[in-house]
Amino acid sequence: MKGIHAFIFIKDEEKGLLALSQGRAKSLVPVFGGNRIIDSYINPLVLAGLGGISVLTGGERDDMKDYFLYRYGAHNIAIEGSPDPLGFLASARYERGEGTLILRAESLLFVRWEELLAFLRGLPAGDYHLRTPRRETIGFFLVEGSALSRAKAVLKEMRARRRSTAGPGPVESGPAGDGETGGLSIENSWDMLSRALAKSAKPTTFPASLFPFRTVSEYYGGHFEILRDLEAHVGLPQLLPIEKVDEKSLSSVGPTGHVKDSYLSYSCVVEGYVERSVIFPHVRIGKNAKVIGSVVLDYNSIGTGAVVHNTILCDNGELFARMTPNVGEGARVGGEDETGENTLFPRFINGGVTLIGRNVEIPRGIEVSSNCYIASETGKAAFKGRERVRASETILES
């Protein structure tokens, strides 16, 4: 086989993640250690020396372009904003004998990519449905240029279905002016393509772990599943920081700090107590503060004497690590109770997990109970006159 070209579809919305994916594609949600979901696909492929990588955004996405320019500017990664991703795939040109790897960056994927690429290069001509031992879809691998004919067949089937549904007359273009797909989103394009390929592709299993993160509670539980089995993932590029980490950006645990059974990323300062938690980069934990059973994303600062328990603290839009706490001194967030569910979002937040959105400031001394949801950008005014946010309560107003 001459080579492999990877086409990676982004995943846009994931309503079940609430504040975690609010205002950004799911593919850009931060995951274990501080990288984004899409980095678990792109970064290992770059490190493995794969020459051709195309990211299909399904439209003009400045957030995706900015991220790839910042993270992968030195690498040859094509960002394709075509509103017709299936049409793009059908028109893509590659040499005979080149394999086509089709992926979707919707889940955190742990797989030994160099071994997977070697495995793929050894496959005979044909279409393959790559799955984990649990029969979860990793993606599709098409050999000998069959991606072209397969995508054309999907487009033809799609046009025929729309004509039979719409009756006589021309097929109308969708919002993006796409007469071929009728303005289908990248979500629908992926669904159409994957269903068509799954019908004829040969199921092929390869060792991998997939964390779909479809809800807040699933995101929380998945991080602790990784933490419990961390030794099995040591050395995988998915856990290595993409940012350059030197001695100045190493984390420090002060004389009053203690970290137990946790994962501590770079550029953190711990002066309090951390147990059974996942701490992302650029986090400060003050003296006598306690973080237990929690996932603390980038740029959070937890004040002196505060307690964070069974909670997800979303990342904050900061350029530098916060000096002023966004979880105030003496505040208590989350609880020990691991039962119950949120009143407004019971399917998404349950099992005692509390979610604090992005750029939220928890005032000093206030208590936020279990199964609560504080939406992103909620200001201190929303807590005025309160001493406590009751269990399963939601605050949506800013």
Q: What are the tens digits of pLDDT across the range 10-31?
A: 999 899 999 999 989 999 999 9
pLDDT on residue 1: 52
Structure-block tokens of residue 72: 């992968």
Mean pLDDT over residues 193-198, rounded?
A: 86
* DSSP for 17-79, written as a single string: GGGGTTTS-GGG-B-GGG-BTTHHHHHHHHHTT--EEEEE-SS--HHHHHHHHHHHTTS-EEE
Q: Is the pLDDT of residue 398 over 60?
A: no
Q: Would you list the domain boundaries of the chain?
A: 4-211, 243-395
Mean pLDDT value across residues 243-267: 89
| C-alpha of 179 from chain center | 31
Contact 35, 238 (CB under 8 A): yes
Given pLDDT bands bounded at 50, 70 and 90, which one contains residue 247? Answer: low
Mean pLDDT of 313-338: 87
User: CB under 8 Å to 231, separation ≥6 — which residues?
Assistant: none
Mean of pLDDT over the chain: 87
Which CA distances in Å does 153 have to 88, 172, 198?
14, 20, 13
How far lies 111's CA from each of 44, 104, 114, 232, in Å? Answer: 9, 14, 9, 11
User: For a pLDDT cut of 70, what percent of the chain falls above it?
Assistant: 87
28-32, 209-213, 240-244: least confident range: 240-244
What percent of the chain lies above the pLDDT cut of 90?
Answer: 59
* 92 has a pLDDT exceeding 50: yes
Q: Are 342 and 348 in contact (CB under 8 A)?
A: yes
pLDDT digits over 109-145, tens only? 999 999 999 999 999 888 899 999 999 999 999 887 5
CATH number of the 243-395 domain: 2.160.10.10
**End-to-end Cα spacing for the chain:** 56
pLDDT at 2: 66
Length, in residues, of the chain: 398
CATH class of 4-211: alpha beta
Interior/surface letters 119-129, b for 16+ CB within 10 angstroms, e for the rest: ebeeeeeebbb
262-316 pLDDT, tens digit each: 999 999 999 999 999 999 999 999 999 999 999 999 999 999 999 999 999 999 9
Other beta carbons within 10 angstroms of residue 250's beta carbon come to 10
Mean pLDDT of 254-261: 96
**342 or 148: which carries more pLDDT confidence?**
342
